[in-house]
Amino acid sequence: MKVKVPKKIVIKKSPGKGRGAFATRRIKKGEVVETAPVVLYEQIRVEKAKKWSSAEIVMQQYHNWSEWGGEDSPLTCMVLGYGAMYNHSDEPNIVAQRNFEDLTLSFVALKKIKRGEELCHYYPDWVFGYQSREENE
């Protein structure tokens, strides 16, 4: 697999969120924003961990690696590239799609994205079910 650095993304400050990924040009609905390689590892069970940060929760729970998804998946992944920089939104403009054969996540535009718009995806409620998002900010 050849990994290409996406030229349509820049990292900069995101108001109220720290840093985030932003579009450097218009992106069409259905266009792949980035295909990021992943590193797989065994998921740590919630009961084995103490209070986690938002980043730890997302890495352990959201990026699980199975066709059925959900918090009971045996594997999770560390997303490389800009994959870890996409913030949450209740109105996301990108979605992550698992590519099991080549061990990548493709981030795909759900709608037209304007130049300068932050690229955000939705973190499901079950990711933060045992701790509120506010506790982890």
- Per the structure, the complete domain to which residue 21 belongs is given by 16-127
Residue 133 lies in a domain: no
Residue 39 lies in a domain: yes
Residue 106 lies in a domain: yes
Can you list the alpha helix ranges (DSSP code H) found in the chain? 54-57
Q: Which residue has the tokens 């900069």?
A: 12
Non-local CB neighbours of 31 within 8 Å, separated by 6+ positions: 108, 109
Write the CATH number for 110: 2.170.270.10
Residue 24 lies in a domain: yes
Residue 52 lies in a domain: yes
pTM: 0.76
Residue 95 lies in a domain: yes
Residue 11 lies in a domain: no
DSSP collapsed to 3 states, 63-81? CECCCCCCCCCCEEEEECC
Per-residue pLDDT band for 73 (boundaries 50, 70, 90) equals low
The residue among 124, 64, 126, 61 whose CA lies nearest residue 100 is 64
Q: What is the DSSP letter of 113?
A: B
Q: Which of 10-19, 50-59, 81-90 shows the highest mean pLDDT?
A: 10-19
Q: Mean pLDDT, the chain, as a whole number?
A: 78
pLDDT over 90 at 10, yes or no: yes
Total domains, the chain:
1
Residue 6 lies in a domain: no
Tokens of 118: 């932050």
Residue 102 to residue 66: CA distance in whole angstroms: 14
